[in-house]
Amino acid sequence: MTEPTVRVRFAPSPTGPLHIGGVRTALYNYLFARQHGGQLILRIEDTDSSRFVPGAEEYIIESFRWLGIHFDEGVGIGGDYGPYRQSERRDIYRRYVDQLLNEDKAYIAFDTPEELEAKRGEVKNFQYDASTRGQMRNSLTLPADEVKRLIDAGTQYVVRFKVEPGEDVHVDDLIRGDVKINSSILDDKVLYKSADDLPTYHLANIVDDHLMHVTHVIRGEEWLPSAPLHVLLYRALGWADTMPRFAHLPLLLKPDGKGKLSKRDGDRLGFPVFPLEWHDPKSGDISTGYRESGYLPEAVINFLALLGWNPGTDQEILSMDELIRLFDIGHCSKAGAKFDYVKGMWFNREYILKTDDATLAPAFDKILRQNGITAPMERVTAVVGMMKMKKINFIHELWPLCDFFFIAPGTYSMDDKFTRKNWKETTGAEMSQLASLLEGLDDFSAEAQKAAVDPWAEQTGIKPWNAWRVCLVGTGKGPDMYELAAFLGKEETLNRMHRAIEALK
Ligand code: GLU
């Protein structure tokens, strides 16, 4: 028998912005699909209408577009197994709800929220299961004609899964091995609610994985407790033979201490937990995203890929292609992965160094515009090239390091420590000499300046560079002087020199 084509899915619920942990889950699915020549599906699980948040679906799609995680099928793309939005698949689910009811594997329950609440007050650790369902108002306890009468009268009901107690249920997990749970601890989960004529997550998820020929379910550890129920559901629906393999990924943990990573940690320590900025439609709150904070998508991918998996070597910088080649779902860790956001910044720095100047330039251009500077893109690109090795984590950190490329120093003053140290009695005269020398150059390239200035400095014993820097920058920062002067051009260079000489007299 040949193995079926690998098909995996990322199945978010549009209940708000995508959490960074969800991005990691999608990434692992993507890597797994690509390395097996398989398909990745984007399915929107929107059966819980009470938690639906407008804009969340668009946000999810835009996040993956930015990150370079491509889906082969799904919402926004299409495919042979659609629709891919669960709210558009009501009729499909209804068929399987009926099948389970007809086969006595599920039952109808009329208990109101108030009745359930009362029961919980009465019975400690109440669970709706084999030991209690006989005391409740459902199709197992009520006469058939009463059930029919209630339904005909429009009484709201739910359909519950009839879990048989006392059986060891095995979940075969690619990361965790054989996970065994006794069915007695499971409750009779609600599979369908008449109130909105929609299934719950559990049923819709299983039906869709089956109908969409999903071969592997790769998802966060928080879904592991649902997995035994899912195994039972596959069996009840007669699909045990084609049940997908499971892989429950390790949790992302707080950077500093135990427990699950939360948005609060990001707010407290100052890092984003969402891929893109999110505007909450209800509260109006704005949460920052990786994109808006100045991360390169490649850096985010590389950082997330190593939260829960590593290639087994010291190599940390891995391109998407390398990740696809090396990723190994079976070697993901079981233990949670600390969300080391400082490491994330390090990755961004490394990717800034790796990325070509022209690609980085638009981000810096945006920062320049915010500071009232418009410059041709070649000049923006040139500055990025001269400055990016200055150990910056983000492109926006460039501005205070290199504003002088675009704005002449406002004042020259002995109050500046670097100026005080490098501007001596004789410096004004020396700078005048240098200015005349530069004045005579037709070619003002860095190389041509060097060819003229180096021998002059050698001959006269004058070391002009620090004082020259004072003239052009006003303080002790910036790149190589020849490169800087070449960038400013002859006229601007000489203007700044003359002004400094005057001011520091
Ligand atoms: N809709 C679930 C979620 O929001 C999907 C979980 C799963 O992958 O089965 O994550």
pLDDT digits (tens, 9 = 90+) for 101-153: 999 999 999 999 999 999 999 999 999 999 999 999 999 999 999 999 999 99
**Mean predicted confidence (pLDDT) in 394-408:** 94
Backbone angles phi, psi at 285, to 5 degrees: -65, 145
Q: Is the pLDDT of residue 3 over 80?
A: no
- The predicted structure's pLDDT at residue 391: 83
SS (H, E, C) 133-145: HHHCCECCCCCHH
Backbone angles phi, psi at 360, to 5 degrees: -80, -25
43 lines ligand 1 (CB under 6 A): no
Query: What is the DSSP-derived secondary structure letter of residue 319?
Result: -
261 lines ligand 1 (CB under 6 A): no
Q: Ligand 1, atom 3: nearest CA belongs to which residue?
A: 12
Q: Are the C-beta atoms of 323 and 31 separated by less than 8 Å?
A: yes
Mean pLDDT of all residues belonging to the chain: 96
The pTM is what? Answer: 0.93
Query: For the chain, what is the total number of helices (H) and then of strands (E)?
Result: 20, 15
- pLDDT confidence band for 257 (50 / 70 / 90): confident
> Tokens 């620090």 label which residue?
466
Cβ contacts of residue 214 below 8 Å, gap of 6+?
7, 8, 9, 41, 208, 244
- Considering only 117-121, 291-295, 386-390, which range has the smallest mean pLDDT? 386-390
Residues 347-377 pLDDT 10s: 999 999 999 999 999 999 999 999 999 999 9
**Mean predicted confidence (pLDDT) in 53-73:** 97
- The predicted structure's pLDDT at residue 258: 85
- The predicted structure's pLDDT at residue 4: 83
Q: Are the C-beta atoms of 247 and 217 separated by less than 8 Å?
A: yes
- pLDDT confidence band for 461 (50 / 70 / 90): very high
Distances, alpha carbon 494 to alpha carbons 379, 433, 453, in Å: 19, 12, 15
- The predicted structure's pLDDT at residue 245: 97
- pLDDT confidence band for 505 (50 / 70 / 90): confident
- The predicted structure's pLDDT at residue 371: 95
Measure 222 CA to ligand 1 centroid, in angstroms.
9
Q: Are the C-beta atoms of 336 and 250 separated by less than 8 Å?
A: yes
17 lines ligand 1 (CB under 6 A): no
Q: To which H or E segment does residue 215 belong?
A: none
Cβ contacts of residue 393 below 8 Å, gap of 6+?
345, 346, 348, 349, 352
Name the residue type at position 117.
E
Backbone angles phi, psi at 106, to 5 degrees: -150, 165
Nearest-atom number in ligand 1 for the CA of 12 is: 4
Q: Is the pLDDT of residue 1 over 70?
A: no
Residues 274-286 pLDDT 10s: 999 999 999 999 9
29 lines ligand 1 (CB under 6 A): no
Residue 385: name the closest of 370, 398, 373, 372 by CA.
398
Which pair of structure tokens corresponds to residue 90?
A: 């009501």
CA angle, residues 276, 280, 281, in degrees to nearest 5: 130
226 lines ligand 1 (CB under 6 A): no
> So which residues are the catalytic ones?
263
- The predicted structure's pLDDT at residue 193: 96
Cβ contacts of residue 183 below 8 Å, gap of 6+?
163, 164, 165, 166, 167, 168, 169, 228, 232
Which of 7, 9, 13 has most ligand 1 atoms within 8 Å of CB, for mutation? 13
